[in-house]
Structure 1
Amino acid sequence: MQVANEEQAEYWGSSPSGAKWLTYEEQMDELLEPVLDLVFERASLQPGMRVLDIGCGTGASSVRAAQIVGSTGHVLAADLAQPFLNRAEQRASEHGLDNIDFQYADVQTYPFPEADRDAMISRFGVMFFEDPVAAFANMSRALKPGGLMTFAAWGPLSGNPWFKTPHIAACARLGNPPPMDRNAPGPLAFHDQDRVSGLLADAGLTEIVVDQVPTHLHICSTLEDCAKLCTRIGPAARLITLFEGDDQDVLAIQQAVAEAFRPFATENTVEIPALINLFQARRPETG
């Protein structure tokens, strides 16, 4: 299989950073469940539908979709990280689901069956393409005419303390990383609603709708545990790796994050405000 996104395949498939998502799967699924709820509320999947799940990760979205579409429907779950797919397949088996297939695929180039799917969904799985127009066009070809895409991406950094606060804490301790293109492939690449709407239009999609939705990420744990997670996954973790931070650096960053997140914490829960971009678009009925 041709892989256009080799850097992303390496990052998610075999790097220590990608492996951390397996280690902290339960915490991350809990944290991001409100975002998955938003995707499913908008997608309005129904029994019998055939669904394409892009960037399925360890399978939370795929399992929920398969449960909704039922035995008369089907989910094709694609990801660029084989370890994630292995875990997702295990989760599907644990739930007794046989209406899911898992596919290792670079979505930018993978030859999905033409006009085979009623809907596409994704929770944070579409911001990593080297050529997003090519990727969206390829996904669109997999949809039946009139088929609907629904996907979530992170909104602006200013509205997402989960990213901004650990980044500030890590920079204060370790220094600033080299400047980078804010639209480059990565978690925040789709923060600009107008830009992404233009990408979807360039890919031939129509009826494009985008909403910026405030929500809260939640962790049913202590403030300290939440801060620790921020130094294992996310921007602080990347800076710690980049600057080869030691245990004292990690502890200092955790303490700074915990203090900044204190207003969001109760005794056993941390509720972190978030701003999510929700996009929907259709494959044209004709053409």
Structure 2
Amino acid sequence: MTIEQKPSFNDHEIKDWNGQRAMLWVKYADRLDTMFSTIADTLLRTANISGGEKVLDLGCGNGSTTLLAASQVGPNGSVTGVDVSEPMIGLAQARCANAGITNVNYILGDAAEYPFDSGSFNVLISRFGSMFFGNPEVAFQNIIPALTFGARVVLIVWRSPQENLWATKPVEAAKEFIEMPLAPGPEDPGPFSFADTERVKKILKVAGFSGIDFTPLDLLLPLGNTLEDAVNYVMEMGPLSAPLATVKGDKREMAITAITNSLRDNQGEDGIVRLAGACWIVTCGVS
């Protein structure tokens, strides 16, 4: 079942996640699941979900973490995934139907404003789905009443761009030849907006969460099974996609060469290109 909500004050992010960005996340869904598999396993292990619990998957995207949670709650539990992206919710629904899973619901809407039923969920999880709110303070104040007393919360978010070479190294290699758009500010909606632990702690504390803690997670993320595969991926998916699309001729070729040479340093003996990823595992509760 999918419940639809009218657009909200996060209009820019909603538009972004229903355009080209969303289509790329759908196209590369299986690759992203592989790339983030260790992170998903860590999310579910930390949440320690039991049979019969009711779980909210915040920013569920293509639904992979929703389905993992569904396997843990069993037939007497349920999982609700919420996301603003219609293409990604569509894929999540299809995956759910193909797997014959019946204990999952999806909400197409903005969790910052969605009228959740009070005390609906024992657990809140999110893998990279909590950093895109235009006003995160308001968002989490809206979400917390949907959680039961004693509910557990696990959010996995990116740390700083400097620690996440999967995102920054290809850009550093190519920026001599292409014009990159201005990066979002550290508190603007975006993948790295929850890198600052003090900011996140304040957001969650103001909303009413307690026991807020941060655990670092460092890993190597596989970008491609071959060097060519990795180069093609970073050219189409991520911050280089739009700038490269506007560059032609020699400059484009020089940018591709620079990206290739940069990623070659990270190719293992098995041919796979892996770059550093750095996350925070954010845990808290409702008490």
Task: Tell me if structure 1 keeps the 8 A contact 2:177–2:252.
Answer: no
Q: Distance in 2 between matches of 1:85 and 1:247?
A: 38
Distance 1:24 1:249, change over 3 A: farther
> Partner of 1:108: helix, strand, or coil?
coil
Q: Distance in 2 between matches of 1:278 and 1:197?
A: 12
Q: Distance in 1 between matches of 2:78 and 2:132?
A: 25
1:165 counterpart residue number: 169
Q: Distance in 2 between matches of 1:250 and 1:203?
A: 47
Task: Tell me if structure 2 keeps the 8 A contact 1:33–1:217.
Answer: no
Task: Tell me if structure 1 keeps the 8 A contact 2:17–2:85.
Answer: yes
Task: Tell me if structure 2 keeps the 8 A contact 1:197–1:210.
Answer: no
Task: Tell me if structure 2 keeps the 8 A contact 1:29–1:60.
Answer: yes
Q: Where does structure 1 differ by over 4 angstroms across 4 or more consecutive aligned residues?
A: 247-251
Per-residue deviation, 1:2:
4.7
Please state if 1:276 is matched with 2:279. yes
Which amino acid is the alignment partner of residue 89 of structure 2? Answer: L
Deviates more, 1:111-120 or 1:247-256: 247-256
Which amino acid is the alignment partner of residue 77 of structure 1? Answer: G
Q: Distance in 2 between matches of 1:96 and 1:251?
A: 46
Distance 1:252 1:49, change over 3 A: farther
1:8 pairs with one of 13, 20, 36: 13
TM-score calculated relative to the size of structure 1 = 0.92
Which amino acid is the alignment partner of residue 168 of structure 2? Answer: K
Task: Tell me if structure 2 keeps the 8 A contact 1:207–1:281.
Answer: yes
Per-residue deviation, 1:79:
0.5
> Partner of 2:17: helix, strand, or coil?
helix
Which amino acid is the alignment partner of residue 262 of structure 2? Answer: A
1:78 counterpart residue number: 82
* Identity of matched residues, %: 26
> Partner of 2:265: helix, strand, or coil?
helix
Cα deviation per residue 1:96-143 (whole Å; 9 max; x = unaligned)?
100000111101100111111000111100110011011112221111
Q: Distance in 2 between matches of 1:247 and 1:134?
A: 47
Q: How does 1:206-221 map to 2 (within 5 A)?
A: 206-219=210-223, 221=225
Which amino acid is the alignment partner of residue 106 of structure 1? Answer: D
Task: Tell me if structure 1 keeps the 8 A contact 2:223–2:233.
Answer: no
Please state if 1:119 is matched with 2:123. yes
Task: Tell me if structure 1 keeps the 8 A contact 2:174–2:259.
Answer: no
**Gapped runs of 5+ residues in structure 2?**
1-5
Task: Tell me if structure 2 keeps the 8 A contact 1:155–1:275.
Answer: yes
2:134 counterpart residue number: 130
Per-residue deviation, 1:176:
4.3
2:94 counterpart residue number: 90
Q: How does 1:252-263 map to 2 (within 5 A)?
A: 252-263=254-265
2:30 pairs with one of 26, 33, 42: 26
1:264 pairs with one of 263, 266, 270: 266
Distance 1:247 1:10, change over 3 A: farther
Cα deviation per residue 1:54-90 (whole Å; 9 max; x = unaligned)?
1111111111111111111100000001111111011
Q: Distance in 2 between matches of 1:89 and 1:247?
A: 41
> Partner of 1:173: helix, strand, or coil?
coil
Deviates more, 1:106-115 or 1:33-42: 33-42
Q: Distance in 2 between matches of 1:216 and 1:102?
A: 31
